[in-house]
């Protein structure tokens, strides 16, 4: 194609690129996003970016439609478009210049929770707009009433930290030191802020370089034509996948245990309406806005909805706007999934998103039972702690102790894997102990944590961290009243629980159900820990798939030998009786026990 052709929308609509060029440019677009992520991880200062990889990067086309994304956090990726659109709406394209970097974290303008801050850089080539590089990262702390903004005792967004509207932080390539100073002065971790900011800017420019290099080689018309052709290609794949789902309305529900104030669970109700090659996701019947900090703004709810569906639609297709075009989302006004100012939102990504996913997967289990999986542990289990070193220095550390994924129609679920909302890593113990006055004492599989089934869920974990200085811990979690549900007859997983182990060795449950059945609020805010005290968290596994009585007895025995399940669960749930000390299956007793359990069911 002629590189000098004057590009306009009508020309692009009529043009086509050949299959070879199409595949080359598809890879170029994907590489641009991947390179952004490589640069951000290697250049960032804070462990939550450099080690835990809690960030996302994407390229958008000249119409602000998703073109490519790196394999980062799903809960970020589908939401970033709303931030980009809010930035463009606020400034207007004529006021966004080459070299500008605009930031935004406002939950009500395309953001999610305040810690997720989004940066946008316009990409120009020969004075013509090619698209946008967009980067979102979870910053360790942006102020608020508790470390990490986890002010779960608060009822107003102002208590969660610095809320940033669309703001230019670089103006035509020059940093705005006044804005950077505001960021530095509104965080408990100023030593991370400038380094992380520079890492974001570096990754944006890496994406810009790759797109400009492609335009120089292939020409603007070819690039822009390939952008739209790629999105149309993905949309065709997704529509074909949707058309294979039987038409109908499928309902699923899930719950948050509490918002920190309520004495009853808070409901999500999803109605999946499949018609031809389109899906409408209607949240009618969902509870109204809540007092506590788990409300979800529109962008977060939409993001959770879109990525939850893509697991079962066309995960193999190129990731771009074409994935989302066949999906319509309806969120009632006044719902806790459509938060408006001043509703607090700090738990929206880490707690609420995963419950949206679980509700959608429950609905899908009625539409495509032969393809869906049990629910995951359905929580990020995000905790943040401020610590004071013996020399008086303060800092903030964070981790995401994962749980199990749900079983599939063919296999057991994955053990100790981050919930679908994130594609993050846990904090390496070596990094944490090097940087902070803490010691990691355990991170091990938790026996009997998985949901039972013909295929069982993956296991959760027992996580322990000991304080070597005074600290205050804030944490959100759920699944403390009831575990994650299975599908097609699969069982629930165990409940989650938070505990403090005192210096004298005795343990006290501080979140969830204790041994006497007393439940404590699991949304912790600045919970105090003294030197030598240990925080213990027991995460849950995933839900099961299918009837547990159909599980191969040999697999049950193997699970007992591996300490994945106890002999009690083998007998009482799976109906498999194991003879001791030989540790072999008692076939006669197993047949009788399974018959008895089947009759009782």
Judged against a pLDDT cut of 80, whether residue 1 lies above it is answered with no
pLDDT, tens only, 394-448: 889 999 999 999 999 999 999 999 998 888 888 889 999 999 999 999 999 999 9
Give residue 394's pLDDT: 82
pLDDT band at 12 (very low <50, low <70, confident <90, very high): low
> Is the pLDDT at 13 greater than 70, yes or no?
no
pLDDT above 90 (res 172): yes
What is the SS3 assignment for 101? strand
Q: What is the pTM of this model?
A: 0.94
16 pLDDT tier (thresholds 50, 70, 90):
confident
Cα–Cα dist 512/379, whole Å: 14
Within 8 A by CB and 6+ apart from 478, the residues are: 256, 257, 351, 355, 378, 379, 496, 522
Per residue in 316-358, pLDDT (tens digit) is 999 999 999 999 999 999 999 999 999 999 999 999 999 999 9
pLDDT above 70 coverage of the chain, percent: 98
Burial of 172 per CB tally in 10 Å (0-12, 13-18, 19+):
exposed
106 has pLDDT over 90 = yes
Q: What is the pLDDT of residues 254-293, one digit of tens each?
A: 999 999 999 899 999 999 999 999 999 999 999 999 999 9
Cα gap 542→405, rounded to integer Å = 4
As a whole number of Å, the end-to-end CA separation of the chain is: 68
pLDDT at 71: 87
* pLDDT, position 399: 92
* Average pLDDT of the residues in 457-471: 96
Percent of the chain with pLDDT over 90: 90
The answer to whether 357 and 378 have CB atoms below 8 angstroms apart is: yes
Q: Is 54 left (phi over 0), alpha (psi -120 to 50) or beta?
A: beta
Average pLDDT over residues 465-475: 95
Mean pLDDT of the chain: 94
- Structure confidence at residue 68 (pLDDT): 96
User: Is pLDDT above 90 for 226?
Assistant: yes
pLDDT interval class at 54 (50, 70, 90): very high
Angle in degrees, 0-180, between the axes of helices 220-243 and 190-218, rounded to the nearest 10: 100
Overall average pLDDT of the 195-223 stretch: 97
Give the CA diameter of the chain. Answer: 82
Pairing relationship of beta strands 497-501 and 66-69 according to DSSP bridges:
unpaired
Rounded distance between C-alpha atoms, residue 149 and residue 159, angstroms: 7
* pLDDT value of residue 475: 95
pLDDT at 70: 93
Distance CA 18, CA 555 (A): 52
Contact 473, 385 (CB under 8 A): yes
Q: How far is CA 193 from CA 141, 196, 402, in A?
A: 9, 5, 27
pLDDT of 49 strictly over 60 = yes
Q: Which helix (H) or strand (E) holds 43?
A: helix 19-43
Distance between CA atoms of residues 414 and 406, nearest Å: 7
For 581, residues 6+ apart whose C-beta sits below 8 A from its C-beta are none
Radius of gyration of the chain (CA): 25
Residue with the bigger pLDDT between 47 and 10: it is: 47
| Number of Cβ atoms within 10 Å of the Cβ of 334 | 12
CA distances from 64 to 107, 315, 570 (A): 19, 22, 54
Chain position carrying tokens 């699991």: 522
- As a whole number of angstroms, the distance between CA 591 and CA 570 comes to 13
pLDDT at 7 over 90: no
Q: Record the tokens describing residue 32, joined without a space.
A: 């641009």
**Tokens representing residue 578 in the block:** 């194991």
Say how many C-beta atoms besides its own lie within 10 A of residue 262's C-beta: 16
């Amino acid at each position: 194609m002629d590189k000098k052709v004057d590009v306009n929308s009508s020309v692009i609509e009529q043009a086509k690129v050949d299959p070879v060029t199409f595949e080359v440019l598809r890879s170029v677009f994907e590489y641009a996003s991947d390179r952004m992520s490589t640069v951000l991880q290697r250049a960032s200062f804070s462990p939550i970016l450099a080690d835990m990889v809690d960030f996302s990067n994407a390229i958008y086309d000249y119409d602000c439609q998703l073109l490519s994304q790196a394999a980062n956090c799903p809960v970020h990726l589908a939401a970033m478009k709303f931030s980009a659109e809010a930035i463009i709406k606020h400034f207007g394209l004529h006021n966004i210049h080459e070299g500008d970097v605009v930031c935004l974290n406002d939950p009500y303008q395309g953001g999610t929770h305040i810690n997720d801050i989004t940066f946008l850089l316009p990409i120009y080539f020969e004075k013509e707009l090619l698209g946008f590089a967009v980067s979102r990262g979870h910053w360790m702390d942006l102020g608020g009433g508790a470390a990490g903004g986890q002010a779960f005792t608060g009822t107003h967004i102002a208590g969660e930290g610095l809320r940033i509207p669309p703001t230019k932080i670089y103006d035509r390539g020059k940093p705005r030191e006044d804005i950077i100073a505001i960021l530095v002065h509104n965080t408990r971790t100023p030593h991370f802020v400038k380094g992380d900011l520079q890492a974001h800017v570096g990754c944006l420019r890496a994406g810009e370089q790759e797109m400009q290099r492609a335009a120089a080689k292939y020409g603007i018309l070819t690039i822009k034509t390939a952008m739209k052709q790629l999105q149309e290609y993905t949309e065709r794949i997704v529509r074909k996948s949707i058309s294979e789902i039987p038409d109908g309305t499928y309902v699923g529900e899930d719950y948050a245990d509490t918002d920190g104030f309520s004495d009853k669970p808070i409901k999500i109700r999803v109605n999946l309406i499949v018609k031809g090659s389109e899906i409408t996701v209607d949240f009618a019947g969902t509870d109204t806005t809540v007092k506590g900090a788990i409300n979800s703004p529109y962008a977060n709810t939409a993001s959770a909805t879109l990525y939850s569906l893509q697991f079962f639609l066309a995960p193999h297709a190129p990731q771009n706007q074409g994935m989302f075009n066949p999906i319509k989302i309806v969120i009632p006004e006044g719902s806790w999934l459509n938060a408006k100012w001043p509703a607090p939102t700090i738990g929206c990504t880490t707690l609420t998103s995963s419950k949206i996913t679980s509700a959608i997967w429950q609905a899908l289990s009625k539409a495509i039972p032969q393809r869906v999986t049990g629910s995951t542990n359905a929580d990020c289990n995000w905790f943040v702690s401020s610590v004071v070193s013996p020399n008086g220095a303060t800092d903030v550390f964070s981790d995401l102790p994962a749980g199990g994924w749900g079983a599939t129609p063919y296999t057991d679920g994955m053990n100790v894997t981050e919930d679908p909302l994130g594609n993050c890593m846990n904090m390496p113990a070596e990094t944490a102990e090097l940087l902070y006055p803490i010691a990691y004492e355990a991170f091990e599989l938790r026996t009997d944590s998985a949901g039972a089934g013909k295929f069982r869920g993956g296991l959760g974990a027992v996580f322990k961290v000991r304080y070597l200085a005074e600290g205050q811990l804030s944490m959100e979690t759920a699944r403390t009243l009831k575990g994650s549900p299975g599908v097609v007859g699969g069982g629930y997983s165990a409940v989650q629980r938070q505990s403090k182990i005192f210096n004298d060795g005795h343990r006290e449950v501080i979140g969830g159900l204790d041994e006497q059945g007393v439940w404590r609020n699991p949304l912790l805010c600045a919970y105090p820990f003294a030197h030598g005290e240990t925080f213990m968290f027991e995460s849950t596994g995933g839900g099961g798939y299918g009837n547990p009585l159909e599980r191969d007895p040999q697999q049950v025995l193997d699970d007992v030998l591996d300490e994945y399940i106890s002999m009690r669960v083998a007998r009482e749930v799976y109906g498999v009786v194991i003879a001791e000390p030989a540790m072999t299956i008692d076939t006669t007793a197993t047949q009788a026990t399974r018959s008895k359990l089947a009759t009782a069911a």
